[in-house]
Amino acid sequence: MKKLRIILSFLLAMTASLPGANVFAAGVSSSQTMQAIQIQQFGGPEVLTIHQLPIPSPGRGEILVRVHAAGINPVDTGVRSGHFAALAAAAPPYVPGFDVSGTVSAVGEGISNFKVGDQVFTMLDLRRGGGYAEFAIVKEGEAALKPGNISFSEAASVPLVTLTAWQVLFEAGNLQPGQTVLIHAGAGGVGSVAIQLAKWRGAKVIATASEHNHAFLRELGVDVPVDYRTQQFEDFASGIDLVLDTIGGDTQIRSMTTLKEGGRLVSIVGLTPEGRNPTRNIEVSSLLVRPDADHLRSIGKLIEDGVLNPIVSYRFPFSEAPAAHKQSETRRTRGKIVLEMDISN
Ligand SMILES: NC(=O)c1ccc[n+]([C@@H]2O[C@H](COP(=O)([O-])OP(=O)(O)OC[C@H]3O[C@@H](n4cnc5c(N)ncnc54)[C@H](OP(=O)(O)O)[C@@H]3O)[C@@H](O)[C@H]2O)c1
């Protein structure tokens, strides 16, 4: 471990001394510390404050990533407010953030898939976090090489929502070509990538969104957009093979009636009592996304092939994390929000 720290210090010092190097970019960091957003108590967006913390050292099976951009997810706001305090690592002081893109700046022992300088994107384990910082510790099994045809900001928007969609559609949901899927909140972070993945799989897609997002849904490939504010989705969806439930509550209960016999509903927001005890022959389950480097590599390939396009609607500088959380809490965001670090991409 001591040897590793020495190597890390050497690498960081070397990189910092290179012409144009920006490990310790102006106004960002000095010495062996980094800027990180650390929650010191649960609360509103104002508790997202910047602190100077030691740059962590990668242990066995870990890499240290110089963060270029961090994705914002609704779970981040739940962690910040204390709503998701049950997540083991979420007790303050805590550095939030699960989506990161950046450059590998050091590797721990036993790393075979990455080397210093690799550009990566990653979803950090929900029990750990640590993405809103200049450097983040990433387990080898959480990361994949960043697709070469997208920016760091776009890459940071991808992992958590796309892994969620992948695991719902292709694992829990076992979606097959020719089947029909109902996707709620199609314009949101999860929905906008789930639509693209379902179309790639060859499914018919019905998706809910406000009317002003329907042209956007059609661009993504949606066959039948439904305005959940003025229309009953049950009028457009019956005999459904799979429902991706991003809303819960009454939407979940009503969605169960749209399923064919033997159809599946997978919720990512928890089950209602009715969902836990369905009275029909349907399968209802809930899913919590997990990091998976194999899935991320497959997702990266789809991006490089032009099948899957990340959608970033809002980019905030690192120092404006509170504003980024306020935007997320509107629950009206199209696609994704990212925090950008003060370094050239
Ligand atoms: N279990 C897991 O592993 C997991 C993983 C990821 C996310 N989640 C959860 O899943 C939910 C969705 O995540 P997200 O990242 O997609 O959120 P998001 O990006 O914040 O979703 C925003 C979208 O939600 C839509 N929306 C809001 N209320 C709606 C309703 N009643 N019906 C249909 N659409 C509605 C809005 O559409 P319009 O503007 O068109 O109205 C907006 O585009 C969140 O609660 C999140 O915490 C869970």
Does 193 sit in the ligand 1 pocket, CB within 6 Å?
Answer: no
| Least confidently predicted of 26-35, 50-59, 78-87, 226-235 | 26-35
* Ligand 1 site-directed mutation target among 72, 80, 81, 246, most atoms within 8 Å of CB: 246
Residue 293 within any structural domain of the chain:
no
Mean pLDDT of 272-277: 98
φ, ψ of residue 311 to 5 degrees: the values are -120, 110
With beta carbons less than 8 A apart as the criterion, state whether 35 and 134 touch. Answer: yes
Residue 104 within any structural domain of the chain:
yes
Residue that is written with structure tokens 């108590």 in the block: 41
Res. 7 pLDDT band, cuts 50 70 90 = very low
Same domain, 165 and 139: no
* Ligand 1 site-directed mutation target among 98, 190, 193, 217, most atoms within 8 Å of CB: 190
Does 267 sit in the ligand 1 pocket, CB within 6 Å?
Answer: no
Task: Give the pLDDT of residue 3.
Answer: 40
Same domain, 128 and 241: no
Residue 47 within any structural domain of the chain:
yes
Same domain, 135 and 92: yes
Q: Give the model confidence (pLDDT) of 148-203 as tens digits.
A: 999 999 999 999 999 999 999 999 999 999 999 999 999 999 999 999 999 999 99
Share of the chain above pLDDT 90, in %: 88
Residue 297 within any structural domain of the chain:
no
Beta strands in the chain (DSSP E): 33-39, 48-54, 62-72, 99-107, 119-123, 135-139, 143-145, 180-183, 204-209, 224-227, 240-245, 259-267, 283-286, 312-317, 336-340
Res. 210 pLDDT band, cuts 50 70 90 = very high
Residue that is written with structure tokens 């750990």 in the block: 128
Residue 298 within any structural domain of the chain:
no
Task: Give the pLDDT of residue 30.
Answer: 45
Q: Give the model confidence (pLDDT) of 43-102 as tens digits.
A: 999 999 999 999 999 999 999 999 999 999 999 999 999 998 777 677 899 999 999 999
Q: How many CB atoms lie within 10 A of CB 27?
A: 8
- 324-335 in b/e form (b: 16+ CB < 10 A) is bbebbbeeebbb
Spell out the alpha helix ranges (H) of the chain: 2-17, 74-81, 152-156, 159-166, 189-201, 214-220, 249-256, 273-276, 293-304, 321-329
Residue 182 within any structural domain of the chain:
yes
Computed over every residue of the chain, the mean pLDDT equals 91
Task: Give the pLDDT of residue 4.
Answer: 38
- Residue 112, classed as helix, strand or coil, is coil
Domain that includes residue 137, residue range: 2-158+310-340
Task: Give the pLDDT of residue 239.
Answer: 98
- Residue 64, classed as helix, strand or coil, is strand
Same domain, 152 and 167: no
Q: How many domains does the chain have?
A: 2
Task: Give the pLDDT of residue 22.
Answer: 29
Task: Give the pLDDT of residue 342.
Answer: 77
pTM of this prediction? Answer: 0.92
77, 122, 157 from 197: Cα distances, Å: 26, 19, 16
Mean pLDDT of 28-45: 85
Spell out the alpha helix ranges (H) of 24-113: 74-81
Same domain, 139 and 200: no
What is the C-alpha to C-alpha distance for residues 328 and 97, in angstroms, rounded to an integer?
13
Q: How many Å lie between the centroid of ligand 1 and the Cα of residue 83?
A: 16
Residue 327, CA atoms < 13 Å, CB-side half-sphere? 22
Residue where one domain finishes, among candidates 270, 286, 302: 286
Q: Residue 9 sits in a domain of what CATH number?
A: 3.90.180.10
CA-closest candidate to residue 154, choices 332, 314, 342, 326: 314
Type of residue at 85: A
